[in-house]
Chains A and B, each alone.
Chain A
Amino acid sequence: MTQANPPGWRLDLRGREVVVSLTGDWIARETGLRNIAEVRQALESLDAVRLGFDASGLGRWDSALVVFLQSLRAEVARQVPPLGLDESALPEAARRLLALAGLAGGSESAETVPPPPSLATRVGRSAFNWWGGGVAVAALVGETVLRSVAAFGGRARTRAVDVMQLMREAGAGAVGIIAVVNGLVGAILAFVGAVQLRRFGAGIYVADLVGIAMVREMAAVMTAIVMAGRTGGAYAAHLATMQGNEEIDALQALGIPVHDFLVLPRVAALVAMMPLLYLYACAVGLFGGFVVSGATLDLTPAAFWGQIQTAIAGRQFAIGLVKSVAFGALVALVGCHVGLKAGRSAAAVGHAATTAVVAGIVGIIALDALFAVCADALGI
């Protein structure tokens, strides 16, 4: 690369014509752009009727020159009285580019920027958005219930092979991470409980603490949170990508009901797998608690398991199982809902995955609180 000569311009008054002499190299990334403001000042001080060019000293050039000439054109048009413009001395190629750039806006109307909406408008709009979102969720839940009934009658267009595949991914695929998470939660509960209860000589009640907390609350909640991150996010990303590739449009055009084909198998897979994962999570969590209480309190295995059996009634398991089914349906529905209403770009896929995970986790906690209130009211 040869060293670029700095770009320059000079105004000469020849009679009543101003001649702009261009010199040097006008390469945007090497020499930058030249500001038009100085030319404007110089032009105003001269009393001319025409503007011409002298490009004999011009070296290499690219867009930097074209931008300069473009703003010079705009400047000339703004003068009162308007100056005549003689561009014949410019390089042929530059004139072509100027002509091409000058055509702009011919085919497209200029973008009108709407004024920013008032506070009332924004509040109203977001209220309508919330309402519309709520209606869409209710419609999705309702349709899922109706189509599930149809599916049991064998009338839905859901393929068993899809359900089996989704079950394998959601169920067997999650066994490892669920063991780690719930084993550690059980261990933490036992550790915290042991430190407190030992002071009262009530160490044996660690088994009650771990047992009830795991079976009634933590196993279902932790498993659901893992599934929201792992499976709910994946559902949303998958469906959003299908949206972007027009795959969902293709299903609709063929008359294949999107709901039966995409939503129902996912809901069915999670609703079927969550109770199993919940029971597994209970087992691992209790084992984690047992290991820690054995190590810190010297509890014998027989004492621990005996205490557990008296502490946990079948009712606790029933509550946990009901919760896990509800959480599974929630995670699958949120994932599908977010994925189906996603935009059609790569950014929309990322946004859908994030929304599905966040909404799933918040939904799980909120639903769990609702369960707690109901269980308290019913006295179970």
Chain B
Amino acid sequence: MAGGAGPPPPLLDAKGLTLAFGPRVIQRDLTFSVRRGSVFAVMGGSGCGKSTVLRAMIGLLRPAAGTVAVDGEDYWGASSSRRAEIGRRFGVLFQNGALWSSMSVAENVALPLQIFTDLGAGDIDALVRLKLSLVGMEAAGKRMPSELSGGMRKRAGLARALALDPDILFFDEPSAGLDPVTSKRLDDLILELRDGLGATIVIVSHELPSLFATCDDGLFLDAETRTAIAHGSPRALRDGCGHPIVRSFMERTRHDHPGQGGSP
């Protein structure tokens, strides 16, 4: 999947990352790197701090210790204006879409383009239509977020995340709250977009079928010891990780839904 001549430098590189709210440490000493063009999973049970790790990567929570480097540049060490500039290379899909409720779907997608580019109204319109059609929402551009279902809200949020043609896409629990069919469709869409846009994707999730289907690298966080206990793709962890916590997490679906564990 990665292929190419020689190993490309990692796009995201976290070293010794420690996250805390005041004295309460959420995760400590995380070291991982996300290869260009890969789909990277941040896995773990509920409440282990997956979303907090994501917040540190997208600039919403300053880590208590450690660094995150984007393309070799220290993200949290940079000035706040430089950080915002780097952040423009990110696209983030929040858990419930986080659409701005006072704007229509099309306006939600158009806003980043209006603020960060010099494009004219007609060009922005064409780009917005393209992004909405990529997620199958072309017909819903005029609707308000409150009129959308949960799955549509996510797809609209995805269209907004794609607005500036980001290099890195972050997904916070993309399949949470979606039925298996819709969630499968979203997984396929994520893979299509990765191949089409050449973007690198970081997914925070505990939905095993999605993780197995989409991710080729990852990090397993543990709530008990508050650090990463395994590295590797979800499939590799399922098939060959000796750690009892990882095993029980990965095998849960296999016992519950025998058919799903083995599907790619």
In angstroms, Cα B100 to Cα A111, docked, is 21
Which residue from chain B places its CB closest to the CB of A347 in the assembled complex? B102
Q: Report which B residues bind A (CB closer than 8 A).
A: 100-102, 113, 116-120, 123, 126-127, 130-134, 136-146, 164-165, 189, 192-193, 195-198
Contact A100 B119 (CB under 8 A): no
Q: A33-B123, A67-B130, A108-B139 are in contact. Are A94 and B196 (CB under 8 A)?
A: yes
Q: A70-B130, A108-B140, A111-B140 are in contact. Are A93 and B116 (CB under 8 A)?
A: no
B103 vs chain A, min Cβ distance (A): 9
For the complex, count residues of A whose C-beta is within 8 A of B: 35
A109 near B: Cβ within 8 Å? yes
Contact A29 B164 (CB under 8 A): yes
| 8 Å CB contact of B192 from A63, A96, A111 | A96
Contact A105 B127 (CB under 8 A): no
Stretch with Cβ within 8 A of B (4 or more), from A167-175, A251-259, A299-307, A338-346: A338-346
| 8 Å CB contact of B134 from A71, A97, A345 | A97
Which residue from chain A places its CB closest to the CB of B145 in the assembled complex? A345
In angstroms, Cα B152 to Cα A340, docked, is 26
Return chain B residues, CB-CB under 8 Å to A104: 132-133, 136-139
23 intermolecular pairs with C-beta atoms under 8 Å apart: A28-B119, A28-B127, A29-B116, A29-B119, A63-B165, A64-B127, A66-B130, A71-B126, A93-B196, A96-B192, A97-B197, A100-B133, A100-B193, A100-B196, A104-B136, A108-B136, A108-B140, A110-B139, A111-B139, A343-B146, A346-B101, A346-B102, A347-B102
Return chain A residues, CB-CB under 8 Å to B165: 27-29, 62-63
Return chain A residues, CB-CB under 8 Å to B126: 33, 67, 71
In angstroms, Cα B189 to Cα A70, docked, is 19
Return chain A residues, CB-CB under 8 Å to B117: 28-29
A40 vs chain B, min Cβ distance (A): 15
In angstroms, Cα B156 to Cα A108, docked, is 14
Which residue from chain A places its CB closest to the CB of B143 in the assembled complex? A111
Q: Mark each residue of chain A from 24 to 61: 1 if its CB lies under 8 Å from any CB of chain B, else 0.
A: 00011100110000000000000000000000000000
A106 near B: Cβ within 8 Å? yes
Contact A103 B197 (CB under 8 A): no
B113 vs chain A, min Cβ distance (A): 8
Which residue from chain B places its CB closest to the CB of A343 in the assembled complex? B146
Return chain A residues, CB-CB under 8 Å to B143: 111
In angstroms, Cα B123 to Cα A345, docked, is 30
Contact B101 A101 (CB under 8 A): no
A346 vs chain B, min Cβ distance (A): 5
Which residue from chain B places its CB closest to the CB of A344 in the assembled complex? B146
A57 vs chain B, min Cβ distance (A): 19
Return chain B residues, CB-CB under 8 Å to A345: 101-102, 144-146
